[in-house]
Amino acid sequence: MSYDLVVIGTGPGGYVCAIRAAQLGLKVAVVEKRATFGGTCLNIGCIPSKALLHASHLFEEAGHSFAKMGIGVSTPKLDIKAMLGFKDQAVEGNTKGVAFLMKKNKIDTYHGTATIAAPGKVDVAMDDGSAQSLETKAIVIATGSDVARLPGIEIDETRIVSSTGALTLEKVPGKLVVVGAGVIGLELGSVWRRLGAQVTVVEFLDRILPGMDLDVAKSYQRILQKQGFEFTLSSKVTGVDSSGKTLKVSVEPAAGGEAKVLEADVVLVAIGRVPFTEGLGLEALGVEKDKRGRIVTDHYYRTNVPGIFAIGDVITGPMLAHKAEDEGVAIAELLAGQAGHVNYDVIPAVVYASPEVASVGKTEEELKAEGIAYKVGKFPFLANGRAKANDETEGFVKVLADETTDKVLGVHIIGMEAGEMIHEAAVLMEFGGSSEDLARTCHAHPTRSEAVKEAAMAVEKRSIHM
């Protein structure tokens, strides 16, 4: 078979790229080695984790918050099997949706493992045991990422789990030790804490959520501690003894020193993800990778081998589904002769625990490091009418604007639905807007988004409700 484009991998990068290219008139095929489409995100990432976050949040709310609003319910009972079933349905609905979109856009689909035999030639070892050879003008590698492992600690996905195993635990662990205070650790730690686990997070650095604004990270740590999370910062896990009924987790200070032992029923290893390129045949082709195993691309997603492109988790940049999707659109448009691009200065990041954390643009630490003079406007949800009405007053909005031009350079939010609120800041920043623009935009009352406007007003110390 002969194509304009063969996309390897159908995660958010790959399937979006395929659809956009088909919309633009290219003859497109995708190759996927997983039984279902949607990649990490739909199968074992964004979607199942959010389904469990939603269900576990409601479980906790029913147990703790309903009574004070005058809603009498008997103590909620957990049916873990049914909750996992709810999550599986969410996954199925989404992956089937992608299968439908493939058909709708007349994209040929191959279920099997792809190897790039040469530029313009993709060999597929099909799941049914047969082989296919596809001729194509362009190849986009969108093979995503895999779990980073800790040397000497074997993940069995039952007692010592990665995020994948943490999405399928059949019983709530009494004690859960999470290695890594990044996004996965806090989100999946939240799920199991809400369902009854005692959660201890061991983090190598002296802070949680590296990369997020430090002020935000510190406040968020306090909020999580109030919820029952325990943090052991500046520490590393050096081994897990799984010989007994209870796991024995050895934890040492990051700088070295005396080890202590934590007991756990389950250990979740969440220390990051690594690009996945196994079996593609890149070494034989001479496709360049960096020290961290990421495929090196230029501004147009070209690798050093003509006709071979790469996007998503397998290249540099944040390992986020929406970043992969936007790159998928950009490369499809470039291949169709248009001017696709991604603005890497405006990629929102969200932690979907409760309350949520959302961020777009620069942190204070980044602005300081770059020597950019900035102004800060901050507004707490404690002073927001809607947050007070709902009794959800934790968190704040912080707007960072250029000292001289007033251009908004970063917005950081801790609060309920922060992940929805962040997008007005993203749109503003995409248009190069100022804090004055944000402050003078009429916001509906009573909404939490008024706190975004008030934080923008606070940049010039003129917020009304503070």
Instruction: Report the nearest approach of ligand FAD to the CB of residue 322 (Å).
Output: 5
Q: At what angle do helices 12-23 and 321-335 cross, to 10 degrees?
A: 30
| Residue ranges in 339-398 that form contacts with ligand NAI under rule CB under 6 A | 350-352
Q: Name beta bridge partners: 80.
A: none
Q: HSE (CB half, 13 Å, CA atoms) of 450?
A: 17
CA 363 to CA 357: how far, in whole Å? Answer: 13
455 binds ligand FAD (CB under 6 A): no
385 is in an annotated binding site: no
143-162 residues near ligand NAI, rule: CB under 6 A:
150
Q: Which of positions 232-261 make contact with ligand NAI (CB under 6 A)?
A: 236-237
Q: Phi/psi zone of residue 365: left (φ > 0), alpha (ψ -120 to 50 degrees), beta?
A: alpha
| Helix pair 46-64, 80-104: axis angle to 10 deg | 140
Residue from the set 5, 6, 13, 237 that interacts with ligand FAD by CB under 6 A:
13
Instruction: Give residue 93's Cα distance to chain centre.
Output: 20
**Which tokens in the block code for residue 163?**
């995020």
Known catalytic residue at 465: no
- Cα 132 to the center of its chain, rounded Å: 34
Measured distance CA(177)–CA(150) in Å, rounded: 14
Cβ atoms of 185 and 210 closer than 8 Å = no
Contact call for residue 176 and ligand NAI (CB under 6 A): no
- Pick the binder of ligand FAD from 20, 39, 91, 221 (CB under 6 A): 39
> Which residue out of 57, 412, 445, 465 is catalytically annotated?
445
- Per partner kind, with CB cut-offs from 5 to 8 A, the member of ligand FAD, ligand NAI, none near residue 144 is ligand FAD
Binding mask 175-194 vs ligand FAD (x if CB under 6 A, - otherwise)? Answer: ---------x----------
Quote the crossing angle between the two packed helices 214-227 and 183-194, to the nearest 10°.
20
**Using CB under 6 A, which of the segments 43-51, 80-88, 354-362, 458-466 binds ligand FAD?**
43-51
Binder of ligand NAI out of 53, 140, 184, 224 (CB under 6 A): 184
**With binding defined as CB under 6 A, does residue 211 bind ligand FAD?**
no
Contact call for residue 220 and ligand NAI (CB under 6 A): no
Locate the DSSP E strands across 119-174.
121-126, 131-141, 145-147, 160-161
Residue listed under structure tokens 């800041």: 425
In the chain, helix, strand, coil percent, each to 5? Answer: 35, 25, 40
Is 179 an interacting residue with respect to ligand NAI (CB under 6 A)? yes
Place of tokens 């993800």: 273
Interface map 296-325 toward ligand NAI (x if CB under 6 A) = ----------------------xxx-----
Q: Which residues are annotated as a binding site for NAD(+)?
A: 180-187, 203, 272
Interface residues with ligand FAD (CB under 6 A)?
A: 8-14, 31-34, 39-41, 45-46, 49, 113-114, 142-145, 163, 184, 276, 279-280, 312-313, 319-322, 324, 352
Annotated binding site, which residues?
50, 143-145, 180-187, 203, 272, 313, 319-322
Active site residues: 445
